[in-house]
Each structure stands twice: as structure tokens, then as C-alpha cells.
Amino acid sequence: DVKVTQSSRYLVKRTGEKVFLECVQDMDHENMFWYRQDPGLGLRLIYFSYDVKMKEKGDIPEGYSVSREKKERFSLILESASTNQTSMYLCASSPEVLAKNIQYFGAGTRLSVL
């Protein structure tokens, strides 16, 4: 079974802190994604990566950056956390670029910024 592991289930941070959310997948997938999930808005794509050291902006990249130094690991970085970044963050991976691919999700990290 594909496993996507997010390092923390819950995080509480203060405004202005630098926050790292880590995601690791164990199936050698090329593609990895970061979403945020908010009530009534569904999932919105923040950043994605099709390969090591490669990244592309999604629909809501402002206030975030990412790092992919190794194929299995994709990190989401909040350079200076703000209260409007309080949300559920979901990581996903998929094995190929084609439109018919399936994404596999981690359990999510619920981040609260105080």
C-alpha cells in the first residue's frame, strides 16, 4: 500500500514564526502536492512538484514556499506564519503526470497560528 506520512497531526505556532510541514511518501512517486483544506472551500492547491528540486505554484502560493531535495520528501514552509494560515494542510503524491493518475493523501496536519 502507498503510504504518505505527514510528520505532525497537530501544530500550534505563534504569529511570525517560521513553520515547516514535512511529508514523506514511500512509493517512489514523481509528483507531490500540498493543499490546504478549509470548511466550505474544499481543497486548494498551494504548490506541487513533478521532480526533485522542481516546484510549481498552485492556486494559492502566497505566504508559502516549498522544498524538495529528495524524491520522497516534500516540505511546506511558512516563512512568517499568520493567523489566516490556520488550516488543515494535506500532502499528496501520485505516480505519473498523466491526467488519469490518482493522488494518495496523508492524514493531514491541523495548524493553528495564534
Interatomic CA distance for residues 54 and 67, integer angstroms:
8
106 makes contact with other proteins (CB under 8 A):
yes
DSSP 8-state class, residue 38 = E
User: x/- contact string, 25-64, with other proteins (CB under 8 A)?
Assistant: ------x-x------xxxxxx--x-x-------x------
Per DSSP, the three-state class of 84 is helix
Dihedral angle at the C-alpha atoms of 90, 41, 87, 16, nearest 10 degrees? 110
96 makes contact with other proteins (CB under 8 A):
yes
Side-chain-side CA neighbours of 10 within 13 Å: the count stands at 1
Which residue in the set 64, 68, 108, 113 belongs to the binding site for other proteins (CB under 8 A)? 108
Q: How far is the CB of 29 from other proteins (least distance, A)?
A: 11
Interatomic CA distance for residues 99 and 111, integer angstroms:
30
69 makes contact with other proteins (CB under 8 A):
no
1 makes contact with other proteins (CB under 8 A):
no
> Site residues (CB under 8 A) for other proteins?
4, 31, 33, 40-45, 48, 50, 58, 90, 92, 94, 96-108
